[in-house]
A and B are shown apart, each in its own frame.
Chain A
Amino acid sequence: MNKKALLMQGNEACVRGALYAGMRFYSGYPITPSTEIAEMSAVLLPTVGGAFIQMEDEIGGIAAAIGASIAGKKAMTATSGPGFTLKMENLGYAVMSEIPLVIVDVQRGGPSTGLPTQSSQADVMQTKWGSHGDNSLIVLSPNSVTETFYLTVEAFNLAEKYRTPVVILTDEVIGHAREKIILPEPGEIEIFDRLPPLEDRPYRPFGVEEGDKVPRFAAFGTGYRYNITGLYHNESGFPSNSQENAKLMLERIHNKLKDEEIIKYEKYQMEDAEYVFLAFGSTSRSAVAAVNELRAEGYKVGLFRPITIWPSPEKAIDEIASKVEGICVAEMNLGQYVLEVERIAAGRTKVSHLGRANGDILRPEEFVNHAKEYFNER
């Protein structure tokens, strides 16, 4: 069958990907530049029997989505800037109680209401550290409309597989860009559903069965009565004050995301690169253009693009840090992910930052100038 190419906005691709993955519930509160995700969900969910609900605020948006997931539906909520901040407490709840959930953050300029209609990548640390406590979750960053579709499918799969919230960290540029996309047929991408309890043994809502990565999930109303709480809890889900239990539980929640199969990244012109740009999301598009231009002039530069932002692609960055002369982390903020790269590089290579937080994307010529400066001073 000849597949038709469509012209689609990033935010719509997100909703299409969510539906492809089986989303049947969306709850949220409108905010630029994420609003189209709510609007498209309101239009499309009922066509497949799914429910859309506009809640009274972003806190209600994520809370209702967690409730829906507990009742067995694949659920999503989307927001930007101030709304993402409001979601933090209940994002932590989903981490702690291990609820599959997809949260989209279409980044805009901050702090505060900031620059509602302009882009930014300044939430990258907030995704990981914004909710209190030692948070661990998965964060994915698409750099195109097509990738927004595929990563949304992936986000649902990871959420179900690892019983965790997954954040899709996109930005105003990707969310509002219109690009060509060819959608996959149903069945072309594998869809993962959370594993139900095993019938041959008593259900342990927060105990991991041999051979499994995470506890099995019984939706409320399916015949397994148990407790879910954001407090530290024992295997039955009842609150526990035991420090030994707290230690083991937090370790388990952290360690389940150390699985290498979660980590995705892309390398471009890296084989013989002496100097490397590290960029994600829309910024990586300018970086590709810059690498092409620099290569044409004989500069040995490459691009490393993390797709999984958290957990960070530590092994890959570690390997690069031991091979190249320098890494330039380019991001639309005053210096955030660069801290993670510096931590991993641990002084083995020169790590620098190229960034700005005024709503404007980083332009290819800025990358080119930065690299030339480096090579000239070498």
Chain B
Amino acid sequence: MSDRSKLVDKYFRTENLPHIWCPGCSHGITTRAIVKAIDDLGLNPENVVIVSGIGCSSRAAGYLNFNTLHTTHGRALAYATGIKVSNPKLDVIVITGDGDASAIGGNHLIHACRRNIDLTVIVFNNSIYGMTGGQYSPTTPHEAFGTTAPYGNIDRAFDLVKLVEGAGATYVARGTAYHALQLTNYIKKAITHKGLSVVEAVSSCPTYYGRRNKLGDAVAMIQWMKDTFVEKRAYERLDEEQRIGKFPFGEFVNIEAPEYTDKLYQMINEVEARHEAGV
């Protein structure tokens, strides 16, 4: 595809390719959606900062030719907060996995949402810890299998959309690797949205999640997304029985609320002016 190679040449650090992802991993699709969104919006790459945590998904940062920061497991949002507060002009995008964002980084996630700081968070949710070899995560479905859930997962899973909505995120959407076009659109809206935005990108890890749960190959897993995820408005029209085994994707929250760095600098400017005036 010529479009793809154009994006690769324009935004990837081609000297660092090939990437580390397994064949059929959907992390590439989501990474492309992010780059496509940046390109469509015409953002100045010099002002784009990508902050990631640790995980297969978080490795995306290093391949992208922006200001990229690959941090520690779960902490990307805290690093990103320091960057955004220090230079609010920057477009700060956080790339994180389901484990990175909602297990070890869960505290930073809810507090970033609460502050409504202008960051864009893309959660690559493959329902598993990919990098460490297939242990269950907070989004692994109840009764699904992982290497540390050999008899079926007894935990209950987070619904990330509800979690971040409850915590105060002001733009929340869910896309999937199959619905890549819509995913790109949600990411675009998330980036332009002023405040904390979260896009959950439903992803596939054929190597560990797929194999353990006998979901077939990479293509079958993407096909599963196509068959299972229904656009939110259509989903709402389904009756209870029809909803069984289906999940909604789409935009869930899109509201305006005071943004953190705006408030912070308003306060700083007032205090500084008063201080300089000697009051």
A residues whose Cβ falls under 8 Å from a Cβ of B: 24-25, 27, 45-51, 53, 55-57, 59-60, 63-73, 75, 89-90, 93, 219-221, 223, 225-231, 238-239
Interface residue from B16, B66, B108 paired with A225 (Cβ < 8 Å): B66
- For residue B86, CB closer than 8 A to chain A, the reply is yes
Dominant secondary structure of chain A at its interface with chain B:
mixed
Q: Which of B79, B85, B275 contacts A63 (CB 8 A)?
A: B79
Contact of A46 among B89, B111, B272 (CB under 8 A): B272
Interface positions, chain B 226-274, Cβ under 8 Å from A, are 264, 267-269, 271-272
Contact A220 B90 (CB under 8 A): yes
- Given known contacts A46-B272, A227-B68, is B75 in contact with A60 (CB within 8 Å)? yes
Of B45, B47, B86, B108, which contacts A60 at CB under 8 A?
A: B108
Q: Which residue of chain A is the closest to B16 with respect to CB atoms?
A: A238
Chain B residue at smallest Cβ distance from A27? B82
Interface residues of B (CB under 8 A from A): 13, 16, 45-47, 49, 51, 61-62, 65-72, 75, 78-83, 85-87, 89-90, 107-108, 111, 264, 267-269, 271-272, 275
Q: What would be 27 A-B contacts, judged by CB atoms less than 8 Å apart?
A: A25-B85, A27-B81, A46-B267, A46-B271, A47-B275, A49-B268, A49-B269, A51-B268, A55-B78, A59-B78, A60-B78, A60-B108, A60-B111, A63-B81, A63-B82, A67-B79, A69-B82, A70-B83, A71-B83, A220-B69, A220-B83, A220-B87, A221-B46, A227-B13, A227-B69, A227-B70, A238-B16
Once the chains are docked, how many angstroms separate the CA of A71 from the CA of B45?
Answer: 15
Cα distance A228–B67 in the bound complex, in angstroms: 8
Q: Are B69 and A63 within 8 A (Cβ)?
A: no
**Shortest Cβ distance from B274 into A: residue:** A47
**Bound-state Cα–Cα, A73 to B86, Å:** 7
Excluding A225-B67, A225-B68, A227-B69, 4 further A-B contacts by CB distance (< 8 Å) are A53-B82, A63-B79, A220-B49, A229-B69
Please tell me which one of the listed residues B16, B62, B81 contacts residue A67 in the complex, with CB atoms under 8 A apart: B81
Complex CA–CA separation, A220 to B93 (angstroms): 13
Q: How far is the CB of B63 from chain A (nearest CB, A)?
A: 9
Contact: B67 with A220, CB < 8 Å? yes
Q: Does the CB pair B87–A65 fall under 8 Å? A: no
Contact A48 B272 (CB under 8 A): yes
Contacts of A55 in B (CB 8 A): 78, 81, 111
Interface pairs A-B: 6 shortest CB-CB = A67-B82, A64-B82, A63-B78, A71-B86, A46-B271, A67-B79
B271: A residues at CB distance < 8 A: 46-47
Q: Tell me whether B272 and A68 are in contact (CB under 8 A).
A: no
A90 partner residues in chain B, CB cutoff 8 A: 72, 75
Contact flag A67-B267 (CB < 8 Å), given A47-B275, A228-B69, A231-B70:
no
| Cα–Cα distance between A31 and B264 once the two chains are bound (Å) | 23
Given A63-B75, A90-B75, A238-B16, A68:B67 Cβ within 8 A: no
The residue in A57, A66, A71, A90 that gathers the most chain B C-beta atoms within 10 A of its C-beta is: A71
| Alpha-carbon separation in the docked complex, A63 to B111 (Å) | 14
Q: Which residues of B contact A223 (CB under 8 A)?
A: 46
Choice from A47, A69, A225, A239 contacting B65 with Cβ under 8 Å? A225
Residue among A45, A69, A228 with the highest chain B CB neighbour number at 10 A: A228
Q: B82 and A68: CB pair below 8 A?
A: yes
Closest to B69 in A: A228
Name the B residues within 8 Å of A60 (CB-CB).
75, 78, 81, 107-108, 111
Are A47's CB and B272's CB within 8 A? Answer: yes
For A225, list chain B residues within 8 Å (CB): 45-46, 65-68
Contact between chains at A238 and B62 (CB < 8 Å):
yes
Q: How far is the CB of B267 from chain A (nearest CB, A)?
A: 6
**Complex: how many Å from CA A70 to CA B75?**
15
CA of A56 to CA of B110, assembled, Å:
9
Q: In the complex, are the beta carbons of A221 and B47 less than 8 A apart? A: yes
B67: which A residues are within 8 A, CB to CB? 220-221, 225-226
Cβ of B91 to closest chain A Cβ, rounded Å: 10
In the complex, the answer to whether A89 meets B72 with C-beta atoms within 8 Å is yes
B81 in contact with A64 (CB, 8 Å): yes
Question: Which of A48, A72, A93 contacts B71 (CB under 8 A)?
Answer: A93
| Distance in Å: Cβ of B20 to nearest Cβ of chain A | 9
Q: How many Å lie between the Cα of A72 and that of B89 in the bound state? A: 13
A25, A50, A227, A228: which contacts B82 (Cβ < 8 A)?
Answer: A25
Query: Closest approach, in angstroms, between the C-beta of A61 and any C-beta of chain B?
Result: 8
Chain A residue, CB-CB nearest to B107: A56
Q: How far is the CA of A60 from the CA of B77 in the complex (A)?
A: 8
Contacting residues, chain A, for B111 (C-beta < 8 A): 55-56, 60
Q: Which residue of A lies closest to B48 (CB)?
A: A225
Q: In the bound complex, do residue A68 and residue B45 qualify as a contact, i.e. CB atoms below 8 Å apart?
A: no
Q: Is the CB of A71 within 8 A of B87?
A: yes
Collect the chain B residues with CB atoms within 8 Å of residue A66's CB.
79, 82
